[in-house]
Amino acid sequence: MSLSPEAAPPAPVTECPLCGTALAPDATRCTQCGYHLVGIPGRPTPWTKPALWWTAAGLLIVYAITLLIVALAR
């Protein structure tokens, strides 16, 4: 038994939040204004787990190379 009520999932967006144009259910961009719809309710998120980890690894590599260059310059 839960003390707090379950929150209903947000309703999928059927029109563009920027210009109000009707959207296809599987659209990732608005056909009228080009607004990117990924991440708004009812649409997929912009990050997958592998993409997030590869981005973090890339930033770490750039940081390590910069740190190495600074250490060698001293």
Nearest residue to 13 via CA among 44, 46, 40 = 40
- The pLDDT confidence band at residue 71, using thresholds 50, 70 and 90, is very high
| Mean pLDDT to the nearest integer, 63-73 | 97
Spatial neighbors of 27 by CB under 8 A, at least 6 apart, are 37
Structure confidence at residue 69 as a pLDDT band (50, 70, 90)? very high
pLDDT (tens digit per residue) in 10-51: 677 788 888 988 888 778 888 899 888 877 776 777 778 899
List the domain boundaries for the chain: 10-43, 45-74
Q: What is the pTM of this model?
A: 0.48
